[in-house]
């Protein structure tokens, strides 16, 4: 039992370290910048006409307040952390006066839904097929899949999304290529809305799945082709165990643990992919929100989305890590 407690404590510490470094990184990046976001916003506003110097001074003061840029760097640092901990990033400039947190709150379920569903499909399917390919190494179909995976896997998310957009937007327009749902529908648990959401998510999900499938497939295939030579697999085969039992409980089961760790390790990369894919398909998640915030020069929103992304991915990793002992009881080895 102590081994488990030590394991959980270690994971929690790592979680705190990740969030601490990540959030500090965001603070350092924004504060080491040669460009003052306050002056930038003022320039954007005043460029449309002359504004009284008093008005500019008032604006500067309130923007500094808004961005948490008042006082010394140490004071700003404290302000920054207290905002992060309260989840309050002030109002959005581009959607004034909507708070940044509620914009993110609106976008997060879309991203979470897309990401969780497509990642689960990818992980399960990729590992299943890759495991079969590693076990039945002479199977032609599985070999061919390996070749396809090698060809598709290295292509970045953006290019795959763009190719799908070209195919389904221009060559064979059967699927919606933009948005999260049809515009005229009542949001909620009703069939027209849910089916519209599902239809709109097909292309973004497909591009995430196409890319991810290859890496799980190839990873699992090479894991399995090593595990089949392990003593316990050879021994089970020697004992005449049913080959499906050997594949399931001996080979795949033992390959699963590193693949779960791999999922935790690649969650950040998968999130990157989702950000990009969302923008290509105009999907109303945090990715689109982030890119549009950059275009709109919305400092609070960019900072808010970045910080929340770091925390959200870290939480995802923590959840996987905490579930890991269910997959592998040998936690003291980690």
Partner 1 sequence: MLAILRDLIRYNLEFRIGLFLVSIVVVMAALSVVSPYPAGDVYVVPPDLPPSTAHWLGTTSRGQDVFWQLTAAIRNTLFFGIMVAALSRVIALVVGLLAGYSGGWIDRVLMSINDTFIIIPLFPILILFYFVLRDSMSTPLLATIMACLGWAYDARLIRSVALSLKTREFTQTSIFSGMKTHEILAREHLPYVLPIVFSTTMNNMNWSIGIEVTLAVLGFTDINTPTIGGMIYWANQHTALVAGIWWWIAFPIGLVVMTFVGLFLLAVSMNEYIDPRSRLARMGGGR
Partner 2 sequence: MSGAAEQAPVLQVRDLQAHFRTHYFGVNREVRAVDGVSFDVNRNEIYGLAGESSSGKTTLIKTIAGLLKPPLEMVGGSARFSFLPDWDAVGRAPPEVVRAIRWRHLSYIMQGSMNVLNPLRRIKHSFRDFAWRHLGGSKAEFDLRAAAHLERVKLDPSVLAAYPHELSGGMRQRVTIALATICKPEFIIADEPTTALDVVVQKDVLGMIRTIQQEMGSSVLFITHDMGVHAALTDRLGIMYAGRLVEDGETPEIFARPLHPYTRHLIGSLPRIGDTEQREGLEGTPPNLATPPPGCRFHPRCPLAMSVCTTTVPAMIETLSGHRVACHAVNPGMAA
Q: Give the C-alpha separation, 318 to 18, whole Å.
A: 10
Residue 250 interacts with partner 2 (CB under 8 A)?
Answer: yes
Query: Nearer Cβ to partner 1, position 203 or 317?
Result: 317
Give the one residue of 59, 121, 241, 315 binding partner 2; rule: CB under 8 A: 241
CB of 290 to partner 1, least distance (A): 6
Pair 301, 92: CB distance under 8 Å:
yes
Q: Does 257 bind partner 2 (CB under 8 A)?
A: yes
- Residue closer to partner 2 by CB (options 99, 134) is 134
Q: Is 240 in the site for partner 2 (CB under 8 A)?
A: yes
Whose Cβ is closer to partner 2: residue 206's or residue 255's? Answer: 255
Give long-range contacts, CB 8 A cutoff, 24+ apart: 16-19: 18/310, 18/314, 18/317, 19/310, 19/311, 19/314
Contacts of 320 by beta carbon, 8 Å cutoff, 6+ apart = 260, 263, 264, 267
With CB under 5 to 8 Å by kind, the binding choice for 241 among partner 2, partner 1, none is partner 2
User: Quick one: what does residue 232 bind among partner 2, partner 1, none, with the CB cut-off 5 to 8 Å set by partner type?
Assistant: partner 2
The neighbouring-strand residues paired with 91 are: 99
Which residues, 6+ apart, have CB-to-CB distance to 75 below 8 Å?
Answer: none
For residue 259, give both structure tokens. Answer: 């693949």
Q: How far is the CB of 314 from partner 1 (least distance, A)?
A: 6
Q: 223: part of which helix (H) or strand (E)?
A: helix 191-227
Q: Which stretch binds partner 2 (CB under 8 A): 141-149, 211-219, 238-246, 261-269?
A: 238-246
Burial 78-93 (b: 16+ CB within 10 A, else e): ebbeebbeeeebbbbb
Residue 306 near which of partner 2, partner 1, none (CB within 5-8 Å, type-dependent): partner 1
In the complex, which residues of this chain contact partner 1 (CB under 8 A)?
14, 17-18, 21-22, 25-26, 29-30, 33-35, 37, 150-151, 153-159, 162-163, 166, 169-170, 226, 264-265, 267-269, 271-272, 275-276, 279, 290-291, 294, 299, 302-303, 305-306, 309-310, 313-314, 317
Taking CB under 8 A as the rule, does residue 4 contact partner 2? no
Which tokens is 87 given? 């989840």
The closest alpha carbon to 307, from 13, 87, 16, 62, belongs to: 87
In whole angstroms, the minimum distance from the beta carbon of 329 to partner 2 comes to 5
The stretch among 48-56, 165-173, 204-212, 233-241 that binds partner 2 (CB under 8 A) is 233-241
Q: What are phi and psi of 253, to 5 degrees?
A: -60, -40
Task: Give the whole-angstrom CA distance, residue 232 versus residue 327.
Answer: 18
- Near partner 2 by CB under 8 A: residue from 62, 82, 178, 249: 249
Q: How far is the CB of 236 from partner 2 (least distance, A)?
A: 7
Q: Phi, psi (5° rounding) for residue 99? A: -65, 145
Is position 328 an interface residue for partner 2 (rule: CB under 8 A)? yes
Query: For residues 325 and 7, is the Cβ–Cβ distance under 8 A?
Result: yes
Measured from the CB atom, the residue of 127 and 277 that comes closer to partner 1 is 277
Token output for 285: 């998640």
Residues forming contacts to partner 2 in the complex (CB under 8 A) are 230-232, 234-241, 245, 249-250, 253-254, 257, 327-330, 333
């Amino acid at each position: 039992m102590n081994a488990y407690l030590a394991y959980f404590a270690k994971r929690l510490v790592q979680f705190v370290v990740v969030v601490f470094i990540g959030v500090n990184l965001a603070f350092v990046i924004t504060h080491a910048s040669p460009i003052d976001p306050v002056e930038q916003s003022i320039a954007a506003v005043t460029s449309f006409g002359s504004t009284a110097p008093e008005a500019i001074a008032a604006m500067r003061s309130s923007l500094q307040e808004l961005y948490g840029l008042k006082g010394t760097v140490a004071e700003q640092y404290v302000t920054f952390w207290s905002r992060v901990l309260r989840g309050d990033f002030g109002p959005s400039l581009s959607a004034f006066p909507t708070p940044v947190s509620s914009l993110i709150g609106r976008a997060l379920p879309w991203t979470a839904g897309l990401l969780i569903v497509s990642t689960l499909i990818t992980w399960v399917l990729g590992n299943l097929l890759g495991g079969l390919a590693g076990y039945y190494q002479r199977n032609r179909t599985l070999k061919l899949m390996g070749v396809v995976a090698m060809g598709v896997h290295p292509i970045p998310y953006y290019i795959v999304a763009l190719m799908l957009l070209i195919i389904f937007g221009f060559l064979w327009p059967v699927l919606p290529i933009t948005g999260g749902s049809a515009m005229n529908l009542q949001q909620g648990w009703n069939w027209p809305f849910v089916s519209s959401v599902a239809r709109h998510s097909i292309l973004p999900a497909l591009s995430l799945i196409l890319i991810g499938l290859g890496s799980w497939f190839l990873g699992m295939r090479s894991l399995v082709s090593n595990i089949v030579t392990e003593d316990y697999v050879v021994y089970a085969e020697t004992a005449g165990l049913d080959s499906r039992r050997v594949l399931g409980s001996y080979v795949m089961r033992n390959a699963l643990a590193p693949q779960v760790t791999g999922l935790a390790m690649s969650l950040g990369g998968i999130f990157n992919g989702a950000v990009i894919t969302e923008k290509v398909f105009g999907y109303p998640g945090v990715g689109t929100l982030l890119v549009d915030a950059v275009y709109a020069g919305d400092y609070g929103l960019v900072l808010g989305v970045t910080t929340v992304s770091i925390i959200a991915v870290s939480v995802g990793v923590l959840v996987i890590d905490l579930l890991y002992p269910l997959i592998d009881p040998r936690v003291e080895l980690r």
